[in-house]
Structure 1
Amino acid sequence: MTARLVVLVSGSGTNLQALLDACADPAYGAEVVAVGADRDGILGLERAERAGVATFVRRVADFESREAWDAALTEAVASYAPDVVVLAGFMKLVGPAFLASFGGRTVNTHPALSPSFPGMHGPADALAYGVKVTGCTLFVVDAGVDTGAIIAQTAVPVEDDDTAETLHERIKTAERAMLVEAVGRMAREGVVVEGRRVRFGH
């Protein structure tokens, strides 16, 4: 049974590409059935089209309220009947309607070891704080910002000569590998979320 993935993107789609590449192997156990975005003309949509994957765009500006946008996004995603929704560089917070439909099976990555350094500047914040190890986190999306139950984490050492940019690039490399491995395991094995704890399996 192949798991159906809907991937939401806002930019270049490097994590999406990693998933598309992984899904090319039948043993991976998942396929990307659609890619959605909150803006037009981005590389992430081009990657999907090149791979022959359906795409859709729901821009916040096209709706009278954030709630209306959230409902429209939820409806678009639901039409592809996903088993797992992956936010891959999706720069909008999904709302209550979305979480009511896909809570517990929507995942996102964060470029730090949660709960440290939440928000938009994880690598720079880690560098400024002087930590020796940071990394990336895959979590179940909830109503907070980077607060959901943790599925997987990968540590990335901070080098003495790192800038925020060089550190972020190494984190992104680790993040892609972590995302591909964990989503594959979710597809093949399933996940159980019990409070803050997540384990693979049924």
Structure 2
Amino acid sequence: MTNTAVLGVLASGRGSNLQSIIDAIDIGRIKAEIAVVISDKPEANALKRVAELGIPAVCVDRKLYDTKEEFEKALVEELEKHRVDLVILAGFMRILSPYFVNAFKNKIMNIHPSLLPAFPGAHAHRSVLEYGAKVSGCTIHFVDEGMDSGPIILQESVPVLDDDTEETLAARVLKVEHVLYPKAIALYLEDKLEINGRRVMIKE
């Protein structure tokens, strides 16, 4: 990996995890630059957030493409144009096809607000509370062709309290997300992650 790696970020929402990555870059915890932030939603706050910082912000609106394949080709073209070393999903609410995953094999990272493989998919916090789990947390993983099923890089737990709501649990997990995601990205860029089947080994 070069001294300053190039990141491409896909985001659909408010961009709080994106901001934690920007902050980690600013203080030198992540030795990288964000070359482009892409959203599938023109109204996404993530685009406004980075535009104010001078980071290229691009909307690839899913509604403008007839097929998922055409949409993903546009995403890949945008990322390749910026020569990204690692693709970061930061609240990107779409399942990626094998085509996209293979275009950036073992170079796509995602965050999920539960301890995978428990409670994959949308509404993880609701599922945790409905099930009565006593512990939740977040997972950073590489992306494969499945839904939240790729090799796990890092996890950290948080307690589930008796009076938790989706909102209070989400807020507690989010604090951990903002620390763990930059840490996982830094490990990747320092060439300390080795994928062995389903396991991700962290090298000293």
TM-score of the two chains, using structure 1 as the length reference: 0.95
Q: Distance in 1 between matches of 2:29 and 2:91?
A: 26
Q: How far apart are 1:111 and its partner, in Å?
A: 0.7
1:185 and 2:180 aligned = no
Corresponding residue for 2:91? 89
1:148 and 2:150 aligned = yes
Q: Distance in 1 between matches of 2:202 and 2:6?
A: 17
Q: Distance in 1 between matches of 2:99 and 2:130?
A: 37
Q: Cα distance 1:190–1:49, how it changes in 2: closer, same or farther (>3 A)?
A: farther
Corresponding residue for 1:7? 9
Which of 169, 172, 175 lines up with 1:173 in the alignment? Answer: 175
Asked if the contact 1:107–1:140 (Cα under 8 Å) also holds between the matched residues in 2, the reply is yes
Q: Distance in 2 between matches of 1:189 and 1:200?
A: 9
Asked if the contact 1:10–1:42 (Cα under 8 Å) also holds between the matched residues in 2, the reply is yes
Corresponding residue for 1:30? 32
1:79 and 2:65 aligned = no
Equivalent position amino acid for 2:73 in 1: A
Q: How far apart are 1:190 and its partner, in Å?
A: 4.2
Spell out the pairing of 1:93-132 with structure 2 (5 A cutoff): 93-132=95-134
Q: Size of the alignment, in residue pairs? A: 202
Which has the larger displacement, 158-167 or 192-201?
A: 192-201
TM-score of the two chains, using structure 2 as the length reference: 0.94
- Gapped runs of 5+ residues in structure 1? none
- Gapped runs of 5+ residues in structure 2? none
Asked if the contact 1:74–1:97 (Cα under 8 Å) also holds between the matched residues in 2, the reply is no
- Counting aligned pairs with the same residue, the percent is 38
Equivalent position amino acid for 2:158 in 1: V
Q: Distance in 1 between matches of 2:29 and 2:152?
A: 25
Q: Distance in 2 between matches of 1:157 and 1:27?
A: 27
